[in-house]
Amino acid sequence: MSRSIERQLHLIDFTVGSILRRKGKNGALLLVYTLVIFVLASVLFFTRSLRAEAAAVLKNAPDIIVQRTLTGRYQFIPMGYADSLRTIRGVASIAPRLWGYYYDGGFGANYTLMVPNDSTVQPGTIEIGSGIARLRNIRVGDIVPLIGHDGNPQTYTVARILDNGSALVSADLLLMAAADYRSLSGIPDSFATDLVLTVRNPKEFPTIAEKITRLLPDTRPIVKNEILRTYDAVFNWRAGIILLLFTVVILAFFIFSFDKATGLSAEERKEIGILKAIGWETGDVLAMKFWEGIALSLMAFLAGAILAYVHVFFGSGFLFAPILKGWSTLYPSFSLAAHINAGDLAALFFLSVVPYTIATIAPAWRVAVIDPDAVMR
């Protein structure tokens, strides 16, 4: 083994002993440091996985959705608009969508009503998302009353509960037949909620969207690319509480580093003085402090990242649930597939290990260059 490696191993051995001599202080530091990294890593893992999940499942979203708005308010779209849109070259098909919301006053929950285009739901029956089934304790075959637009209750038999595996997109869905939806909502046959366009060439999305706006100025086309990008922006690090959390964590790192960089305790100064007096060189002292910084910050980084992984992917991010739920009564129960990004891990590593290690070396260097006699006094 080369002499320099052997020297570093001895230094590491001494550093470990030095850290263990100050168990209480270093243990507390490690605990808080781990906690800070745990919070940051949990947010990173959770948002990254949610974005990846959204991108994966929503890639089959409609090509273009055409809504109608009047002075910033949504309006039902006349079915006749479909005929105008059919004249646009590149549009392969147009289908009306019937959907809306239903507020369940008894449970304080909002459901999303939808009519599947393939008419799989029989009139008089409904299919519900697993979130609704759990909230209302509903089983297949149960009768569910819904209050119609005229105030009269209409009853439906639950034909199917949607697979919980798709809860992330379907927890609050209530699927019904078109005739039932129109009778419940009062929307006339000549109107739909919006129109869905299939486009032959994805490169033509922007051109077709522009043509739609020109042809029907009271409409608003939403293209698939925008839908896919939505969750990138929604869970971007700049978003509301995530930004707040990042700021707090970075501030905590700053306080750690500042505390380290502003000076050593009397005991640590004495230790350096003694080491210098018995023949250690400044380089040895700095190497020891380097290993001390690396040991503490690397352990905190590993422990924090492991705990965050367990929290997000085994515990479904249970600590985030109260924040994510907001005022929602209905919340999907889902487990995220682990999407670990090397860039995120590298950023976390450099944010946690590098500044702390540098901040550990800097004050030690200031002390190590002074005469040992003066340091020990």
For residue 185, give the 3-state DSSP assignment: helix
- Piece of 104-112, 140-148, 270-278, 347-355 that binds other proteins (CB under 8 A): 104-112
List the interface residues with other proteins, window 14-53 (CB under 8 A).
16, 19-20, 50, 53
Q: Does 170 bind other proteins (CB under 8 A)?
A: yes
**14, 191, 235, 246: which one binds other proteins (CB under 8 A):** 235
Candidate residues 28, 179, 215, 234; the one interacting with other proteins per rule CB under 8 A: 234
Interaction residues for other proteins, span 313-372 (CB under 8 A): 313, 323-324, 326-332, 337-340
CB of 165 to other proteins, least distance (A): 5
Listed in sequence order, the residues at least 6 apart from 93 whose beta carbon sits closer than 8 Å to its beta carbon are: 197, 198
Q: Minimal distance in Å, beta carbon 336 to other proteins?
A: 8
Cβ-based nearer residue to other proteins, 8 or 166: 166
Q: Report the residue count for the chain.
A: 377
Integer CA distances (angstroms), 232 to 113, 168, 313, 321, 335, in order: 26, 16, 20, 20, 19
Applying the rule CB under 8 A, the residues between 128 and 157 that interact with other proteins are: 129, 131
Could you say which DSSP state residue 354 is in? H
Q: Closest distance between other proteins and the C-beta of residue 303, in Å?
A: 6
CB atoms within 10 A of CB 71: 6
State how beta strands 91-97 and 194-199 pair. Answer: antiparallel
| Residue 298 within binding range of other proteins, rule CB under 8 A | yes
Find the binder of other proteins among 25, 31, 69, 83 (CB under 8 A): 69
**Which residues from 110-129 bind other proteins, rule CB under 8 A?**
110-112, 114, 116-118, 129
Comparing CB distances to other proteins, the nearer of 17 and 80 is 17
The alpha carbon torsion through 133, 138, 143, 148 (nearest 10 deg) reads -40
| Residue matched to tokens 């501030």 | 251
Q: Which 3 state secondary structure label does DSSP give 55?
A: helix
Cβ proximity of 260 and 363 under 8 Å: yes
User: What is the Cα–Cα distance from 189 to 173, expressed in whole angstroms?
Assistant: 22
- Scan residues 198-217 and list those touching other proteins (CB under 8 A): 206, 209
Which residues are 101's β-sheet partners?
112
Q: Which is nearer to other proteins, 187 or 261 (CB)?
A: 187
